[in-house]
Amino acid sequence: MFSNGDEIFKISRLTIVWLAGIFTIVWMVCWGLGIALPMLLTSQLGDKAALTNEILRAATPVIAILVFIPINAMFMVLIERRALALWTVRKGPNRVGPDGNFQTAADAVKLLLKEDITPTGADAVMHTFAPILFFAPSVFGAVPLLAAVTNNHPLFHVLNLPTGIFFVLAAGALPVVALVMAGWASNNKYSLVGGLRSAAQAISYEIPLVLSLITVCLMAGTLDLVKITEQQAGGILNWNLLGGGALTGLNNALAGGGAKALATSYFMGPISYVCAGLLVISLIISFWLYLTGACAEINRIPFDLPEAESELVSGYNTEYSGMKFAIFFLAEFTNLFVVSSITTVMFLGGGDNPIPPYILNNIPGIPQMVAAIRDSYFCSTLHIINPETFFATLWVIAKVYGLVIFAVLIRGTLPRFRIDQLMAFGWKRLIPLSLIVFIIVVFAREFVICHG
């Protein structure tokens, strides 16, 4: 009969193989274009290669993203199907390739080779551009995140914006236009209702989402994604999830600062302690608010009303087939990935290790291992990767895909809201709550020295 342990083992194996494959490929592309090729050119041509090198370095992140997104979406679809199967006592796709590894590749090729239909009576131009407009923001919106998730690797310095989070949010607000376009251009009433629903939903849930992120920015005092990540370094107590730096004093005390560190951070005594507690609670609520808003933003269950299958057939993409539908499909999962990355950067400390360094460095073997990696041929000579980036990326991958799996679990559990309940929930619950949290944070942070 069915053995759950066996299946869990297979899924883990699949995950590890895929992730290793994806990130090796992507990193090799980055390294090849951004580091190896410029090094080679410089050694051959000298100063004449400077301009070429600049162009190569600037192009690297974009190309990396373009390589990364399709493979990653394929993996995410596969893992979603396998994980849902695991939770519903099934096996999931396991026939194509070794253990079903290439199932989604087959799907992708099939969708690309399928007939592409534009319904008569549809607005052909809008109908064609809607998926592109839906997909594009998830590509260029993700760019500023790159520096943050790779521990500010020199390759991605260029892309770091001082107002990174706003750029990401602005890009994230664009797809709704595409959905309305798709709904309107399809000449189908279900599509139209789906498109309008998505507009209403996105506008409503944008507010709590942005407010919760503003709360974090307020705590951090900056909009720069890299700075926000760097502030959170040093263990789980520094993360924005737990008070946005309000526990830094505690962390310092544990690290060896003792009572002095506590007194520095919590300078008002008991009031400060209470405020720190409030901050922790507020930021956890903010985290939850962000997850909820993001779920609605990317149309996942329980907020998948724009494409509610049992109501609107397939919602805004009812009339889409073949390649255009594939792009919608791709963008949907990429959006999920981007949203998880933002959560990781803003709340979960980016590439930070949850175990504080004062514990980690005392574990025998760890510092030596880091040193060994740094001194190895790959790092020191070929500059393939430095250990900071390597470990940061590992942690980012773990956190991001953990959130993705969490979203899949929610998808497999909850029913769907009704549109008026969705609006009521957004306007009457989430927005007041996020405002309250924001106000609490504004006042409470005056009594605690955060991130210090």
Partner 1 sequence: MSQGNMSTSAKPNTNPVVPEEIRDSVSISSIDFMIDALGQMLSPVLSPVANLARSNSVWPMTFGTSCCAIEMISVGMSAFDISRFGSEVFRATPRQADMIITAGTITRKMAPALITLYEQMPEPKYVIAMGACTITGGMFNDSYSVVQGVDRIIPVDVFLPGCPPRPEGILDALLKLQQKIRTENYADRRKKLYAQTSVRKVDYDTGRPLEDLIGVVQEDTNAALSSGQEAIGDVAKGISPKAEEAKTVATKPVAPKVEVAKPEVTSPEAKKVENTKDEAAEKADDKSV
Partner 2 sequence: MATEIQEIDLKTDEMIINMGPQHPATHGVLRLLLTLDGETVKHTEPVLGHLHRGQEWQGQNRTWFQYQALIDRVDYLSGMFTSWAMARACEEIDGTVVPPRAEYLRVMVSEMNRITSHLLWLGTYLIDLGAMFGFPFYPFREREKLFDLFEEIAGQRMMFNYIRIGGVVRDPKPEWLDKLKRFLDEFPDRIDEYETIVTQNPIFLKRTKDVGILTQAVAKDYGVTGPCIRSSGIPLDLRRTKPYSVYPELKFDVITFDKEGDTWDRYMARILEMRQSIEIIRQCIDKLPSGDIMGKKQMAGMRIKAGEGFSAVESPRGILGCYVISGGGEKALRFRWRNPSFCNLAILPELLKGCPLSDIMAIFGSIDVILPDVDR
Q: Which residue in 31, 75, 190, 347 binds partner 2 (CB under 8 A)?
A: 190
Identify which of residues 270 and 415 has a Cβ nearer to partner 2 in the complex.
Answer: 415
The three state secondary structure string of 181-245 is HHHHHCCCHHHHHHHHHHHHHHHHHHHHHHHHHHHHHHHHCCCCHHHHHHHCCCCHHHCCCCHHH
The answer to whether the beta carbons of residues 159 and 147 sit under 8 Å apart is yes
The span of 32-40, 54-62, 235-243, 406-414 binding partner 2 (CB under 8 A) equals 406-414
The answer to whether the beta carbons of residues 312 and 318 sit under 8 Å apart is yes
The answer to whether the beta carbons of residues 149 and 350 sit under 8 Å apart is yes
Locus of tokens 């399709």: 70
Is residue 88 close enough to count as binding partner 1 by CB under 8 A?
yes
Q: What part of residues 107-146 is at the interface with partner 1 (CB under 8 A)?
A: 107-110, 113-122, 124, 128
Is residue 101 close enough to count as binding partner 1 by CB under 8 A?
no
Q: Answer with the entry of partner 2, partner 1, none that 419 interacts with (C-beta below 5 to 8 A by kind).
A: partner 2
Is residue 94 close enough to count as binding partner 1 by CB under 8 A?
yes
Q: Which residue in 313, 360, 373, 410 binds partner 1 (CB under 8 A)?
A: 313
Rounded to the nearest 10 degrees, the angle between the axes of helix 103-113 and helix 322-346 is 130
Is residue 189 close enough to count as binding partner 2 by CB under 8 A?
yes
Q: Answer with the entry of partner 2, partner 1, none that 416 interacts with (C-beta below 5 to 8 A by kind).
A: partner 2
- The full length of the chain comes to 452
Q: How far is the CB of 119 from partner 1 (least distance, A)?
A: 5
Amino acid identity of residue 220, one-letter, is A
Is residue 309 close enough to count as binding partner 2 by CB under 8 A?
yes
Is residue 321 close enough to count as binding partner 1 by CB under 8 A?
yes
Is residue 292 close enough to count as binding partner 1 by CB under 8 A?
no
Tell me how far CA of residue 292 lies from CA of 34, 37, 114, 210, 332, in angstroms: 37, 43, 35, 12, 16
The answer to whether the beta carbons of residues 297 and 288 sit under 8 Å apart is no
The span of 84-92, 254-262, 347-355, 432-440 binding partner 2 (CB under 8 A) equals 84-92
146's CB contacts (< 8 A; 6+ apart) are 61, 64, 65, 156, 159
If 0-12 CB within 10 Å is exposed, 13-18 middle and 19+ buried, where does residue 148 land?
A: buried
Q: What part of residues 163-182 is at the interface with partner 2 (CB under 8 A)?
A: none
The span of 16-24, 95-103, 338-346, 388-396 binding partner 1 (CB under 8 A) equals 95-103
Q: Answer with the entry of partner 1, partner 2, none that 413 interacts with (C-beta below 5 to 8 A by kind).
A: partner 2
Q: Which residue in 7, 297, 304, 332 binds partner 2 (CB under 8 A)?
A: 304
CA neighbor of 196 nearest in space, from 289, 117, 305, 107: 305
Tell me how far CA of residue 111 lies from CA of 93, 104, 107, 308, in angstroms: 17, 10, 6, 22
The span of 31-39, 200-208, 309-317, 410-418 binding partner 1 (CB under 8 A) equals 309-317
Task: Count Cβ atoms below 10 Å from residue 442 Cβ, excluding itself.
Answer: 11
Q: Answer with the entry of partner 2, partner 1, none that 96 interacts with (C-beta below 5 to 8 A by kind).
A: partner 1
Q: What part of residues 147-166 is at the interface with partner 1 (CB under 8 A)?
A: none
How many residues bind partner 1, per CB under 8 A?
46
- Find the Cα–Cα–Cα–Cα dihedral 191, 193, 196, 198, rounded to 10°: -70
Q: Which residue in 15, 150, 160, 188 binds partner 1 (CB under 8 A)?
A: 188
Q: Which residue in 116, 411, 427, 449 binds partner 2 (CB under 8 A)?
A: 411
Is residue 92 close enough to count as binding partner 1 by CB under 8 A?
yes
The answer to whether the beta carbons of residues 124 and 187 sit under 8 Å apart is no
Is residue 187 close enough to count as binding partner 1 by CB under 8 A?
yes
Is residue 311 close enough to count as binding partner 2 by CB under 8 A?
yes
Q: Answer with the entry of partner 2, partner 1, none that 260 interacts with (C-beta below 5 to 8 A by kind).
A: none
The span of 22-30, 183-191, 350-358, 439-447 binding partner 1 (CB under 8 A) equals 183-191
Is residue 87 close enough to count as binding partner 2 by CB under 8 A?
yes
Is residue 322 close enough to count as binding partner 1 by CB under 8 A?
yes
The answer to whether the beta carbons of residues 353 and 388 sit under 8 Å apart is no
Tell me how far CA of residue 343 lies from CA of 87, 209, 214, 227, in angstroms: 25, 11, 13, 15
Q: Mapping DSSP to helix (H, G, I), strand (E, B) and coil, where does residue 155 land? A: helix
Q: What are the residues binding partner 2 (CB under 8 A)?
A: 84, 87-90, 189-190, 193, 301-302, 304-305, 308-311, 313, 411-421
Q: Where does this chain bind partner 1 (CB under 8 A)?
A: 81, 85, 88-96, 100, 103, 105-110, 113-122, 124, 128, 187-190, 309-310, 313-314, 317-322, 325
